[in-house]
Amino acid sequence: MSGETEYAYVVEGKMALPYQYFAGAVGSKFLIALRDEKRILGVRCPKCETTFVPPRQTCERCFSDLTSHWVDVGSSGEITGYTVINYKEPYQPKEPPYVLALIKLDGADTPFAHILNCADGAQPAIGMRVRAVFSKEPKDNILAISHFELEP
């Protein structure tokens, strides 16, 4: 529309969007095993034999139902990727800087992201072996695994 003036208004402020979500039957079973038994569970597809961690209800490759195919996976694995978090956000589980690594556990075919603590200034690298360190206090979320650390 020619000849009309456009106006832009900027309203500064903060908006909090707290929410909770239900992990579902599959996610709940995974989190309860972490919290109560310090076990890491995955689901294994009966058709394509892919093991998913964290578990999911349906295989993303062949669409098979996975809800009755639970398996224990190891609490050790290897780094498949990582990044260093250098900025602070209120929802982060730890003060920066910290390492967030993709970890493929022994017995799993898919990696998942979690905190990696590197002692004595060690630098992470793809292929390094790591192991889970469980929280001393029970947690109802993925932080039941406090962090991963490099294996000696």
pLDDT tens-digit map of 61-108: 999 999 899 999 999 999 999 999 998 888 888 889 999 999 999 999
Among 9-13, 25-29, 121-125, the range scoring the smallest mean pLDDT is 9-13
Of the candidates 91, 89, 88, 151, the one whose C-alpha atom is nearest the C-alpha of residue 118 is 151
Burial of 93 from C-beta contacts in 10 A (0-12 / 13-18 / 19+): middle
H helix or E strand, kind and range, residue 9: none
Angstrom distance (rounded) from CA 94 to CA 91: 9
Token output for 65:
């139902």
Q: What local confidence, expressed as pLDDT, does residue 102 receive?
A: 97
Mean pLDDT score across all residues of the chain? 89
Q: Is residue 34 scored above 60 in pLDDT?
A: yes
| 8 Å CB contact between 128 and 103 | no
Token output for 144:
């039941």
- For the residues 123-147, what does the mean pLDDT come to? 94
Provide the Cα torsion 60, 64, 69, 70; round to 10°: 20
Please report, as a single letter, which amino acid is at residue 89. Answer: E
Q: What local confidence, expressed as pLDDT, does residue 152 receive?
A: 84
Which residues lie closer than 8 Å to 120 by C-beta, 6 or more apart?
Answer: none
Sign of CA dihedral 76, 23, 118, 138: negative
pTM for this prediction: 0.81
Answer with the residue of higher pLDDT: 2 or 118.
118
Of the candidates 81, 137, 136, the one whose C-alpha atom is nearest the C-alpha of residue 114 is 81
Q: What local confidence, expressed as pLDDT, does residue 148 receive?
A: 97
134 bridge partner residues = 145
